[in-house]
């Protein structure tokens, strides 16, 4: 609470009270966006502070959303070891084209996504590439949590409650872009791993510990929705710690990059993508 307030019984007092808050809060809150992002104190190695376009620490149980240009790199970091970044991706310029998790795992013949894998849209194109992964604990099968099941498991699943459901957070993030619950397909999650055993049963692995990071590269103008809340298979009492989200300007995957030709499926996805972007005058 501010110490400079002279009371909020008048508009002048209320204005003074509101205006005093920014300075009073400086340094007191760890989970906040840094704006402009160029003011972020520790850009990733080799990144010019001026190239930073987003810097934020999302609280456990919080969400964010980023609209970024093609080529932008987005790094998610599990600061304390118990973040779980549930992610949905859309074409920013035509959001009816969106992440298709089933196509992503089927086309790439792999359910454990890591660096070198692509996030594919329902239109046979690349939305984003995974260009860095120091975690190795990801899940493409179990989606996110629902309010009903969180109420059953924790007693609460509301977005502003003690144990927010990922779908409730996604619904709010989506609404900021005029998207509705019908526009929320199955999502991916990063930092809390699930392995499938020989019988098809899930084995929850948990995280790789504090500091693990995953870096995505936008291959199209991209909308990312990020909900940071406990994984649906996490057996513990509700646990969710802060997630750092940094983004900076960069270049999309080029035909000369190793990733372009890493697999025939990926090559065709990149070709489909640049063909579409070229027709629209985007690339």
Partner 1 sequence: MSLIDTVVPARAPWSAVVRAGEVLTITDLGGNQAVDFLVFDAADPSLRYSAPDTIQGQDSVFLTTGSILRDCEYGPLMTVVADEVGRHDTLGGACSKESNTLRYGQHTWAQHACVENFLAEGGRHGLGKRDLVSNINWYMNVPVDPDGALGIVDGISAPGLSLALRAERDVLVVVSNCPQINNPCNGFDPTPVRMVVTR
Please pick, from the candidates 15, 19, 149, 236, the single residue that binds partner 1 as defined by CB under 8 A.
149
- Is 182 a binding residue for partner 1 by CB under 8 A? The answer is yes
Distance CA 102, CA 86 (A): 16
Cβ 197 to partner 1 shortest distance, Å: 8
Phi, psi of 33 (to 5 degrees): -80, 150
Residues 146, 139: contact at Cβ < 8 Å?
Answer: no
Beta strand pairing status for 193-196 and 202-206? antiparallel
R_g over Cα of the chain = 20
40 versus 90: smaller Cβ distance to partner 1? 90
Q: Per this entry, what is the length of the chain?
A: 283
Binding range to partner 1, per CB under 8 A, among 24-32, 140-148, 204-212, 250-258: 140-148
Strand order of the sheet with strand 213-218? 52-58, 243-248, 73-78, 213-218, 126-133, 118-120
Rounded to whole angstroms, the Cα distance separating 283 from 246 reads 24
Between 111 and 130, how does the x/- string for binding to partner 1 read (CB under 8 A)?
xx-------x-xxxx-----
Check binding of 280 to partner 1 (CB under 8 A): no
Which of 106, 176, 236, 280 binds partner 1 (CB under 8 A)? It is: 106
User: Closest separation between CB of residue 125 and partner 1, Å?
Assistant: 8
**CB nearer partner 1, residue 27 or residue 200:** 200
In whole angstroms, how far apart are CA 263 and each of 118, 156, 281? 11, 44, 27
The CA-based diameter of the chain, rounded to the nearest angstrom, is 68
Minimum distance from residue 187 beta carbon to partner 1 (Å): 8
**What are 179's two structure tokens?**
């998207």
196 binds partner 1 per the rule CB under 8 A: yes
139/204 Cα distance (integer angstroms)? 10
x/- string (CB under 8 A) for partner 1, residues 198-237?
xxxxx-----------------------------xx----
- In angstroms, the Cα distances linking 277 to 92, 190, 283 are 12, 28, 5
**Choice between 2 and 114, CB closer to partner 1:** 114
Give dist(CA 270, CA 253) in Å, integer.
Answer: 8
Binders of partner 1 in range 57-96 (CB under 8 A): 96
Query: Which strand (E) or helix (H) includes residue 206?
Result: strand 202-206
Task: Tell me how far, at minimum, the Cβ of 131 lies from partner 1, in Å.
Answer: 19
Q: Is 21 helix (H, G, I), strand (E, B) or coil?
A: helix
Query: Total number of residues binding partner 1 (CB under 8 A)?
Result: 46
Region binding partner 1 by CB under 8 A among candidate stretches 3-11, 48-56, 72-80, 261-269: 261-269
Measured from the CB atom, the residue of 19 and 149 that comes closer to partner 1 is 149
Binding site for partner 1 (CB under 8 A): 96, 100-103, 105-107, 109-112, 120, 122-125, 141-144, 146-149, 167, 180-187, 196, 198-202, 232-233, 265, 268-269, 272
């Amino acid at each position: 609470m501010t110490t400079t307030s002279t009371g909020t019984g008048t508009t002048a007092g209320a204005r003074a009270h509101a205006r005093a808050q920014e300075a009073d809060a400086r340094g007191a809150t760890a989970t906040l966006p840094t704006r402009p992002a160029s003011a972020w104190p520790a850009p990733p190695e080799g990144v010019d502070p001026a190239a930073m376009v987003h810097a934020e620490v999302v609280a456990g149980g919080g969400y964010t959303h980023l609209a970024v240009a093609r080529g932008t790199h987005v790094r998610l970091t599990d600061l304390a070891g118990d973040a779980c970044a549930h992610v949905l991706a859309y074409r920013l310029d035509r959001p009816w084209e969106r992440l298709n998790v089933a196509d992503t795992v089927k086309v790439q013949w792999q359910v454990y996504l890591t660096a070198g894998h692509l996030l594919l849209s329902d239109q046979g194109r690349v939305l984003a590439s995974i260009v860095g992964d120091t975690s190795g604990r990801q899940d493409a099968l179990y989606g996110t949590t629902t309010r009903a099941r969180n109420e059953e498991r924790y007693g609460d699943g509301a977005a502003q409650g003690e144990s927010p459901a990922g779908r409730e957070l996604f619904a709010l993030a989506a609404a900021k872009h005029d998207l509705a619950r019908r526009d929320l397909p199955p999502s991916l999650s990063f930092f809390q791993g699930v392995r499938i055993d020989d019988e098809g049963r899930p084995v929850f692995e948990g995280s790789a510990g504090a500091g693990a990071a995953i870096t995505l590269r936008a291959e199209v103008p991209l909308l990312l929705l990020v909900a940071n809340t406990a994984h649906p298979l996490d057996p513990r009492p509700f646990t969710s710690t802060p997630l750092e989200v940094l983004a900076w300007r960069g270049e999309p995957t080029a035909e000369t990059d190793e990733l372009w030709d890493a697999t025939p499926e990926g090559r065709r996805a990149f070709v489909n993508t640049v063909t579409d972007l070229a027709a629209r005058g985007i690339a």
